[in-house]
Amino acid sequence: MSEHDAARATVEQALKDAGLEWDTPDGASGTYVVQLPGTRKLSTTCSLVVGRHTLSVNAFVVRRPDENHEAFYRWLLERNTRMYGVSYAIDRLGDVYLVGRLPLAAVTAEQVDQLLGAVVENADGSFNTLLELGFASAIRREYAWRTARGESTRNLEAFTHLTRDV
């Protein structure tokens, strides 16, 4: 079995062991798209790609912030220094992703599990902080709009410190 095939089998077994279902877009061999459940961010879409030499991971976190760009991106860069296996990155639009790469020789079920855990920890665990840093005005506007119409604000409860005076 080639190193590539062994890595694919390892990734598939790790996903099965974690109870995760995956898709292979367009039947792309060695490409796995999984939905990782969360508590703050309801789910995080994560792709794992077994390439010729590496396993790469890529997960969307949040769109480009509306405001407070310097503090928002500074927080990401400072957080990168404490993360395992993945790092925050931005695309040309400023949208935020988690990215990581492992050599195929290092792909084990434990490493795949750790990478997926790092994605959940840093996408879901940091989600409210990122919303607060980059979207506080939008949160306040949404809260005001909902309360004016008698709509539920339940999913905004984490941001009551931002909406007290609205």
- pLDDT tens, position by position, 139-160: 999 888 999 999 998 888 888 8
Q: Find where tokens 């989600």 sit.
A: 127
What is the chain's mean pLDDT, rounded? 94
Pick 156 or 107 by higher pLDDT.
107
Check whether 27 has a pLDDT greater than 80.
no
Check whether 77 has a pLDDT greater than 90.
yes
Predicted pLDDT of residue 160: 87
Instruction: Flag whether the pTM goes above 0.85.
Output: yes
Asked if residue 44 lies in contact with residue 124, where contact means CB atoms within 8 angstroms, the answer is yes
Predicted pLDDT of residue 70: 96
Pick 133 or 4 by higher pLDDT.
133
- Distance CA(34)–CA(85), nearest Å, equals 18
Q: What is the number of alpha carbons within 13 Å of residue 114 lying toward its C-beta?
A: 13
Predicted pLDDT of residue 80: 97
Q: Which of 115, 118, 119, 110 is nearest to 14 (CA)?
A: 110
